[in-house]
Structure 1
């Protein structure tokens, strides 16, 4: 069919753009992008064009030629490749022109030129290797066609100067969904400047609120005379004028009724037919949203959870004003009761903060927000489902996904967060102190009075250090926001009933007297840095502790760690070798996750102590591992509940070149140490790093019946040949090979029957 043919073509083009950068010239890459854009335009307007077979043939032929051009062992000369690609682009462009004429001739109101929002629904963005092509986050920019045209025209104008385009609009005028996580390894301003100076760049700065913010960052952007550009969005006209005084400000338009209805339909029903009895009601709901894309997306999230046959609920929503505040309130009202405190709790994180879902889930569980439903496997799975549901309702934004498609991190739109902050304080779920008292002087005098009716608070470390806390003994949860440059010396002794202390993960120091924290015997959750890497034996007082997260490397744990019977999660950047549990009688039956344990001795007693663990991260140094068989890694096979294993070997980088000349090890051993071949059969995710094993070990890994994700990092396998066989990797969805000496890979599609990425 035509739709599938176009989709297959786009997937092939995506693969080329992602993995062929080492030989693609700029002109060839531009032609591929052009072909992809034309194919998207055809796909979006397929239903308006009667001769679908012509489009199918064109897409299939283009796909065939593309595969031929990129299948030869020796790539064709760059000029010839670019010419052939340009011919293909021109051919598709001609078909696009015919479709335009046909549609316009039929008097259709549909425009062939898709909006940016339409196009990027099909374009997978981001370059995180942990994100599969089927689940990679996309950014959807929704606006009126003339707004899109202004932005596109500005992007396409060649200029010798750095240009700036300020865009002004009300909150929610440009709705975003699943913004890709932007990561940078450049820590300092001068490095950013030097990095950009060598490139043509486009910087998008969203939601700028002050002139000072622009002054603070504008010096980072060099004018290299190569038509680089900056787009700044703001709600304030004077900020836009300050950013660029050349009168190039663009004011965003609102959607009209028909555009609003088309967007709402697409978000709720996709490309399926709409029940005729919902047409009038749906159009009214869309019109009531006032042309604001965020309102429409929020309304769609609400409607998508209501059964289609429930016309009365649609009528009730249509009767509301349709203003964003009303829609958010309705979305919240229609949440299952157990999800409401989970969502309100998220308002305690700072604006624009990227929330790690793993931490959020542990916090929800510690607060008692999550309970097991009928047939549920675990509290963690219940909490994961809650996050997914909130995303589907457009109340929460996805910022990053894992390789298996699960949500890795998320955030809140600032307008949604504003509602949650108010509602959470009203229902006394959590009080965000800094949102209610925006200046330090106000907080100094009013915080003690403000918190007296709340058990859960979010506040800066400075505010928590205030001396006058007459009503602090009732506080059971603190989300602490580190204040830059402020050293935190002891405050927690005032909060004697504290159960949850979550310090946000930032690069600031956290100094407190360890004895103060370990006197808080009600603690179930502790996430923080510590003054040094040694956890004192006084931790044994925390018999209710379920989660311990330490933002530090080489943490040394005391023997008493084995006496915390309620412990579910034990996490640090890295732990020194764990104390030998031989003298301990009872296992940690509740322990679900342990990471990252250095030089982990997997003795039979150790396996017994953590027998129900589901997630394990361990790491070895080659120097210690050589010639020492006492680590007993073959005992990993007895961890019958283990689903996720990260197994790393740290090797001195100076040895890498020397080892590259050595033959691969066929016995899976390092000078007498047996490699743990017999992995637990229920393993779903496996990451190997630095082991330099023979590629034939893949046969053993391939026999794992439940393995879905396999990551081979930093020369995990050492050898030039890998031959797969029928029946291996039956459930594998995701395969990553990052750093290897692999030269030849002999395989067939049937050897990876479910592979997606």
Structure 2
């Protein structure tokens, strides 16, 4: 299917090349002065080439010569970028010599001759002018933005319910197997091809009420083809010991109740890595021996994966179970020949249509009339090609969702028929063809964004904010149009991300506090396989796994890198294999000379050979640390990478200095130094004038009471493009009146050394600046200092997230009234509010998330009145030592509450009775220091009243006792005001 998708990628490449050359002509005017006319001619030729790519798109399916022509256009666009950026390096590194000018001009002349030959050859293929807009480096930008802003359907469906059709019988069968009281530990397998719903089925039963009541230990681990036994064992052990929560779907999210133990968790994982496999197996076996456990091993491909770890599951309380999901029947039968595998069925035609209708029309826009017959007829013709495979139908529905009119459906139906006629193989039940069709239908600006996802490892939870910054650094996101001052590149990138999700090409991992924003995302394994195949066909990414790094191996694919045109490399490290992490990697010398991006995952002690000439054009350098390194440091040669736009070392644990040469990175957009221990930052950062996101080293110490920030010696007033700034000491903002000059600031985290500096900083903001702030975190370092009146924040009309760590003024109750009504998330800690804050906070109309943290409230009574907190979904009450059992919730309060977390409130003995009337609440998490909650046997077993809105809602209680060191999760329909412990 590569020929079907090449054009729009070529179109994106040429558009990016035009934009890049435009930027260089503006920002590097001095460097390019001697060749300015030559470069402008190259830019004009590329723009002219763009005008013919659309017509080539229409002709490529029938003519292989057209496809080759498109590939030539793409390659010459890459060459234009290379020659201009290489010349800038020459100018930057030394006095420009005549020989350099001669070489660059010869190179430009050669490229111009190639462009002329390519342009003239189009006539042989009948490629004509397509009437495209020449004045924009991103053609059709306005039309595409309008289509994104007016997406015809808003999906309010629960993400977890997507694609759950016709699983009732399988759910019943799997539940029955799991609830059997058998003396031995049984292995229950779910078998079927990719995309059939195996993981969906396992997830559904994993969270089932009866299953939650039956077992007392739950583990979910993703295995995959490239599994590492030691990693799997470590993950199981960490979950068994209760350090991490065990959410549905196996994402193993860090427990929100124990965020303060995150460093200890990472440290423990590092310690566990030092054990041998057999030692880890024995540790797990000892932990599980007296538990009735349910362990889900998702996506097992080979029986040896089970054989390597099965010794950990030889013992357990009666009824313990292990569940597999696998595509291979042999794996299922070999693991436990006495238990028949469960095989989810393919969907019937009617079930397929129901699923397609849900995805294409998330809301029933046709009302009681139902879907018009002409839509239904076309839809049922298309789903016949999907063979009843849920994934294919979901992706097809995502594609149809973008088509507003019947004509759009007709075009998709024609394309489906054409693709299936051209590719007769039905071995994948249509899924490959549907995935290819959905990819082909992507607008050109989404092509590279989608392909970029192929660089991430399998089953990787991708932070959306990081992904957006990487897309921007790669040049995939256009600059907002003139006049749209409030729209940023990040806003446009978020729209791109949402469009990929709407098209079902990307899945939501976790949502933010509002339930609407995307916090993390991930790809279905089949979608990722398809994406990786396209990535390799297009030389978009080169993926290197650790076993390929042995250059002595003559068959290593790494040896061929130098001869490829690959511009991006993703490296997947493997903690279970031997590697001298303190030495340079041997493949570095073989890396292709066109390298633009290097993503390294699971980095440990790593030496960066930045003197290597192959790094000179790099724009993105992201090292993804899963645990701190003892040896990592940033070499002085970092300053040689003058084209660098994104530099990320988060989690490296560096305590050394940052080299002054970092000031040479004048193109840098993002510098991410979070979770490091660098004590001071050099003055040279002042020269990074294009920096948009500055994320500085910081960390809590002394039981989360002291917040440490790096000392900043640079001039903040020079960084006038900054949008995100976290976390910085107040004096850095006060010097040189820096605050008033940061006119683009959207997100700010600041650590204050005294109360008077708060007023100085806040009063320095202009009304326009305050109106642009979306997120603000303020930390008062000295415990005996207080924040001034919050009236200074009343002008923050766009402020969505506010976190305040420190004492509020004496009249704290009154000052809360000045909180912006736009707030959706509010965190208070160490505030020492003496009067019940609920009576003020409950009036915030859009508040979705409220955390009253340690000593935020020192009174003993809390009341949530009727109609209070109309939109609040998550309420967290932590370490409120004085609050007693007199917390009252009136009927009608908190109507939208879905989650309640109560942590370490020793005097609170009962949860308000009226919580039982809350139809929407799903999760109740209680962590306690002492056995203070009442246990009323007479009340146990009572059902909350059924409601027509959600008749089958169950309470999820996560009750932890630090006193006993136990953690259990109970699902019941009991009155939540009486807790089983």
Fold in common (TM above 0.5)? yes
**Alpha-carbon offset, residue 569 of structure 1:** 0.9
Q: Which residue of 2 aligns with 1:44?
A: none
Return the match for 1:480 from 600, 603, 607: 600
Instruction: Assess, with a 3 A threshold, how the Cα gap between structure 1 residues 726 and 559 changes in structure 2: closer, same or farther.
Output: closer
Instruction: Assess, with a 3 A threshold, how the Cα gap between structure 1 residues 242 and 598 changes in structure 2: closer, same or farther.
Output: farther
Is the CA contact 2:300–2:324 (under 8 Å) kept in the aligned structure 1?
yes
Is the CA contact 2:188–2:323 (under 8 Å) kept in the aligned structure 1?
yes
**Alpha-carbon offset, residue 336 of structure 1:** 1.5
**Quick check: 1:168 aligned with 2:191?**
yes
Question: What value does the CA root-mean-square deviation take over the aligned residues?
Answer: 3.6
Is the CA contact 2:190–2:342 (under 8 Å) kept in the aligned structure 1?
yes
For residues 629 and 145 of structure 1, the distance between their equivalents in structure 2, rounded to whole angstroms, comes to: 61
* CA deviations over 1:358-379 (Å, ceiling 9, x no partner): 1110110011100145557010
Return the match for 1:503 from 623, 645, 656: 623
* CA deviations over 1:369-396 (Å, ceiling 9, x no partner): 0014555701000001111111111111
Q: Which residue of 2 aligns with 1:79?
A: none
**Quick check: 1:147 aligned with 2:264?**
no
**Alpha-carbon offset, residue 149 of structure 1:** 2.5
Return the match for 1:612 from 740, 744, 769: 744
Is the CA contact 2:780–2:786 (under 8 Å) kept in the aligned structure 1?
no
**Quick check: 1:138 aligned with 2:208?**
no
Q: Which residue of 2 aligns with 1:541?
A: 664
For residues 709 and 410 of structure 1, the distance between their equivalents in structure 2, rounded to whole angstroms, comes to: 22
Unpaired segments of 5 or more residues in structure 2?
1-155, 201-247, 255-261, 273-279, 365-369, 421-428, 574-578, 699-707, 873-895, 898-981
What's the secondary structure of 1:617's corresponding residue? strand
**Alpha-carbon offset, residue 518 of structure 1:** 2.1
Q: Which residue of 2 aligns with 1:557?
A: 681
Question: Mean alpha-carbon deviation: is it higher for 235-244 or for 398-407?
Answer: 235-244
Is the CA contact 1:434–1:459 (under 8 Å) kept in the aligned structure 2?
yes
* CA deviations over 1:638-692 (Å, ceiling 9, x no partner): 25232101234579xxxxxxxxxxxxxxxxx935774765225235233435425
**Alpha-carbon offset, residue 355 of structure 1:** 0.9
Return the match for 1:744 from 852, 861, 884: 861
Q: Which residue of 2 aligns with 1:267?
A: 359
Return the match for 1:246 from 325, 338, 341: 338
For residues 729 and 191 of structure 2, the distance between their equivalents in structure 1, rounded to whole angstroms, comes to: 52
Q: Which residue of 2 aligns with 1:458?
A: 570
For residues 671 and 292 of structure 2, the distance between their equivalents in structure 1, rounded to whole angstroms, comes to: 45
Return the match for 2:778 from 633, 636, 647: 647
**Quick check: 1:335 aligned with 2:442?**
yes
For residues 439 and 343 of structure 1, the distance between their equivalents in structure 2, rounded to whole angstroms, comes to: 30
* CA deviations over 1:346-367 (Å, ceiling 9, x no partner): 1011111111111110110011
**Alpha-carbon offset, residue 705 of structure 1:** 3.5
Q: Which residue of 2 aligns with 1:514?
A: 635
* CA deviations over 1:603-624 (Å, ceiling 9, x no partner): 262423544321122346xxxx
Instruction: Assess, with a 3 A threshold, how the Cα gap between structure 1 residues 533 and 722 changes in structure 2: closer, same or farther.
Output: same
For residues 172 and 538 of structure 2, the distance between their equivalents in structure 1, rounded to whole angstroms, comes to: 45
**Alpha-carbon offset, residue 734 of structure 1:** 2.9
Return the match for 1:722 from 837, 857, 879: 837
Is the CA contact 2:480–2:488 (under 8 Å) kept in the aligned structure 1?
no
Q: Which residue of 2 aligns with 1:292?
A: 389
Q: Which residue of 1 aligns with 2:612?
A: 493
Question: Mean alpha-carbon deviation: is it higher for 697-706 or for 291-300?
Answer: 697-706
**Alpha-carbon offset, residue 698 of structure 1:** 5.4
Instruction: Assess, with a 3 A threshold, how the Cα gap between structure 1 residues 369 and 585 changes in structure 2: closer, same or farther.
Output: closer
Q: Which residue of 2 aligns with 1:656?
A: none
Q: Which residue of 2 aligns with 1:106?
A: none
For residues 245 and 695 of structure 1, the distance between their equivalents in structure 2, rounded to whole angstroms, comes to: 71
What's the secondary structure of 1:552's corresponding residue? coil
Is the CA contact 1:501–1:527 (under 8 Å) kept in the aligned structure 2?
yes
Is the CA contact 2:716–2:733 (under 8 Å) kept in the aligned structure 1?
no
Alignment of structure 1 residues 344-493 onto 2, 5 Å: 344-372=451-479, 375=484, 377-404=487-514, 405-434=516-545, 445-451=556-562, 452-460=564-572, 465-466=585-586, 469=589, 472-482=592-602, 487-488=606-607, 490=609, 493=612
Question: Mean alpha-carbon deviation: is it higher for 606-615 or for 304-313?
Answer: 606-615
**Quick check: 1:697 aligned with 2:812?**
yes
What's the secondary structure of 1:721's corresponding residue? coil
For residues 555 and 814 of structure 2, the distance between their equivalents in structure 1, rounded to whole angstroms, comes to: 64
Q: Which residue of 1 aligns with 2:103?
A: none
Q: Which residue of 2 aligns with 1:523?
A: 644
* CA deviations over 1:413-448 (Å, ceiling 9, x no partner): 121112112212333332324499698766874424
Instruction: Assess, with a 3 A threshold, how the Cα gap between structure 1 residues 297 and 438 changes in structure 2: closer, same or farther.
Output: farther
Instruction: Assess, with a 3 A threshold, how the Cα gap between structure 1 residues 208 and 548 changes in structure 2: closer, same or farther.
Output: same
Q: Which residue of 1 aligns with 2:24?
A: none
Is the CA contact 2:291–2:317 (under 8 Å) kept in the aligned structure 1?
no
Q: Which residue of 2 aligns with 1:312?
A: 410
Alignment of structure 1 residues 569-608 onto 2, 5 Å: 569-574=693-698, 576-579=709-712, 584=715, 586-597=717-728, 602-603=733-734, 605-608=737-740
Q: Which residue of 2 aligns with 1:678?
A: 792
Instruction: Assess, with a 3 A threshold, how the Cα gap between structure 1 residues 258 and 459 changes in structure 2: closer, same or farther.
Output: same
For residues 590 and 354 of structure 1, the distance between their equivalents in structure 2, rounded to whole angstroms, comes to: 29
Instruction: Assess, with a 3 A threshold, how the Cα gap between structure 1 residues 304 and 598 changes in structure 2: closer, same or farther.
Output: same
Instruction: Assess, with a 3 A threshold, how the Cα gap between structure 1 residues 435 and 252 changes in structure 2: closer, same or farther.
Output: farther
For residues 805 and 565 of structure 2, the distance between their equivalents in structure 1, rounded to whole angstroms, comes to: 53
Is the CA contact 1:722–1:744 (under 8 Å) kept in the aligned structure 2?
no
For residues 727 and 143 of structure 1, the distance between their equivalents in structure 2, rounded to whole angstroms, comes to: 42
For residues 412 and 585 of structure 1, the distance between their equivalents in structure 2, rounded to whole angstroms, comes to: 39
**Alpha-carbon offset, residue 480 of structure 1:** 1.9
For residues 443 and 304 of structure 1, the distance between their equivalents in structure 2, rounded to whole angstroms, comes to: 49
Q: Which residue of 2 aligns with 1:123?
A: none
For residues 351 and 727 of structure 1, the distance between their equivalents in structure 2, rounded to whole angstroms, comes to: 43
**Alpha-carbon offset, residue 169 of structure 1:** 0.9
Is the CA contact 2:845–2:869 (under 8 Å) kept in the aligned structure 1?
yes
What's the secondary structure of 2:466's corresponding residue? helix
Instruction: Assess, with a 3 A threshold, how the Cα gap between structure 1 residues 443 and 466 changes in structure 2: closer, same or farther.
Output: farther
* CA deviations over 1:516-559 (Å, ceiling 9, x no partner): 22221221111123753421222111111111112533322112
* CA deviations over 1:119-165 (Å, ceiling 9, x no partner): xxxxxxxxxxxxxxx89752655554432321122234344554321
**Quick check: 1:635 aligned with 2:761?**
yes
Q: Which residue of 1 aligns with 2:827?
A: 712
Is the CA contact 1:162–1:227 (under 8 Å) kept in the aligned structure 2?
yes
Is the CA contact 1:571–1:596 (under 8 Å) kept in the aligned structure 2?
yes
For residues 833 and 330 of structure 2, the distance between their equivalents in structure 1, rounded to whole angstroms, comes to: 60
For residues 251 and 823 of structure 2, the distance between their equivalents in structure 1, rounded to whole angstroms, comes to: 23
For residues 663 and 641 of structure 2, the distance between their equivalents in structure 1, rounded to whole angstroms, comes to: 11
For residues 722 and 552 of structure 1, the distance between their equivalents in structure 2, rounded to whole angstroms, comes to: 33
Instruction: Assess, with a 3 A threshold, how the Cα gap between structure 1 residues 199 and 707 changes in structure 2: closer, same or farther.
Output: farther
What's the secondary structure of 2:827's corresponding residue? strand
Is the CA contact 2:655–2:677 (under 8 Å) kept in the aligned structure 1?
no
Instruction: Assess, with a 3 A threshold, how the Cα gap between structure 1 residues 632 and 300 changes in structure 2: closer, same or farther.
Output: same
Instruction: Assess, with a 3 A threshold, how the Cα gap between structure 1 residues 715 and 154 changes in structure 2: closer, same or farther.
Output: farther
Is the CA contact 2:634–2:658 (under 8 Å) kept in the aligned structure 1?
no
Is the CA contact 2:293–2:316 (under 8 Å) kept in the aligned structure 1?
no
Is the CA contact 1:724–1:747 (under 8 Å) kept in the aligned structure 2?
yes
**Alpha-carbon offset, residue 456 of structure 1:** 1.7
